[in-house]
């Protein structure tokens, strides 16, 4: 009888998106990287706050608006303190908010590199032949699911297609069409490895 091993993959992007902005120093469209620092300005009781970006070539600054003319009493003290202290978690949350960036800047470059933390949800048995991978995303990523699986399992993308054709690969809730789309929160991938000669290597890669 085959045994099932469930593994949770917690996925976090490594590199923040970079807006491409007309740099008035360089004289053309340039990528700007996040500085991980906020600028907070108080004008009476009104507060403005920005996340600062820098041109990758000349270090010219561009400010990405976080708060605009907000009354101090309407801002949670913890949020204001985080802005004033350049809280890394808050900066990361805004830096990776590609939807908000795209609402301000037409061209935003995304990067597919991710870090994957793997946690087995049970013991691995000697007769384990079925993998179930449960995806959790810290925030959206542009990395396609087939590229993620191929990289983390140490296999080719064409092999995933073969598994798909042989009905050894099941993906919920979106089905195998999800392979060509970015990895999504809540996706579950089940792989039947019973007939694969390198089954143990794939299982080790999935859990290490």
What digits encode the pLDDT tens for the residues 166-200? 999 999 998 888 999 999 999 999 999 999 999 99
- pLDDT confidence of residue 2: 66
What pLDDT is stored for residue 153 in this prediction?
A: 98
Pick from 108, 102, 112, 87: which is nearest to 14 by CA? 112
Q: What is the mean pLDDT of the chain?
A: 95
The pLDDT of 36-65, averaged and rounded, is 96
Q: Reduced to 3 states, what is the DSSP secondary structure of residue 127?
A: coil
pLDDT, tens digit (0-9, with 9 covering 90-100), for 108-157: 999 999 999 999 998 888 889 999 999 999 988 889 999 999 999 999 99
Q: Is 135 helix (H, G, I), strand (E, B) or coil?
A: strand
- Token pair, residue 146, equals 């087939």
- The residue to which tokens 């991938």 are assigned: 189
pTM, entire model? 0.82
């Amino acid at each position: 009888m085959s045994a099932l091993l469930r593994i949770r993959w917690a996925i976090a992007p490594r590199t923040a998106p970079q807006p491409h902005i007309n740099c008035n120093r360089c004289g053309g469209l340039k990528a700007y990287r996040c500085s991980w620092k906020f600028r907070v300005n108080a004008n009476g009781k009104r507060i403005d706050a920005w996340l600062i970006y820098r041109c990758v070539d000349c270090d010219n600054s561009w400010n990405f608006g976080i708060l605009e003319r907000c009354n101090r009493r309407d801002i949670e003290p913890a949020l204001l303190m985080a802005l004033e202290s350049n809280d890394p978690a808050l900066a990361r949350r805004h830096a990776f908010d590609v939807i908000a960036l795209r609402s301000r800047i037409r061209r935003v470059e995304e990067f597919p590199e991710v870090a994957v933390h793997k946690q087995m949800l049970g013991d691995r048995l000697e007769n384990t032949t079925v993998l179930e991978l449960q995806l959790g995303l810290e925030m959206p990523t542009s990395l396609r699911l087939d590229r993620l699986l191929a990289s983390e399992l140490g296999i080719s993308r064409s092999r995933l297609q073969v598994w798909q054709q042989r009905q050894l690969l099941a993906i919920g809730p979106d089905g195998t069409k999800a392979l060509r789309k970015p990895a999504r929160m809540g996706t579950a991938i089940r792989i039947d490895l019973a007939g694969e000669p390198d089954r143990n290597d794939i299982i080790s890669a999935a859990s290490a």
